[in-house]
Amino acid sequence: MHFQAYMTKVVEYMADFHIWLSLVTCPPYSGFMRCERLTVCLTMLLAYMCLNAMWYRSTVTEVGDLRVKISYMRSALRKRGLTH
């Protein structure tokens, strides 16, 4: 009996709060429309693809290489005024 109530809550939670599932099972009482949920999904997908493209075929052979890459990214962001 408790397991069935638990599973009902899990399914309800996943349908409402899981970003990909909520596109299909958008609850009527929710404040977010499907268009807004789709925008969030596509933004996350695009950001993930951009992050993967930044490190495509990059290999870190030493810890020093990683430090160089991180410092390069920091200096590039500073030049654009995005960090302190």
Domain parsing of the chain, residue ranges: 2-79
83 touches 74 (CB < 8 A):
yes
Residue 13, CA distances (Å) to 19, 25, 42, 62 in order? 11, 11, 21, 43
Query: Which DSSP string corresponds to 19-81?
Result: TTHHHHS--TT-SS-HHHHHHHHHHHHHHHHHHHHHTTT----SHHHHHHHHHHHHHHHHHTT
Per-residue pLDDT of the chain (84 residues; tens, 9 = 90+): 688 888 888 888 777 777 787 778 777 777 778 888 889 899 999 999 998 888 777 665 555 555 556 666 666 667 766 655
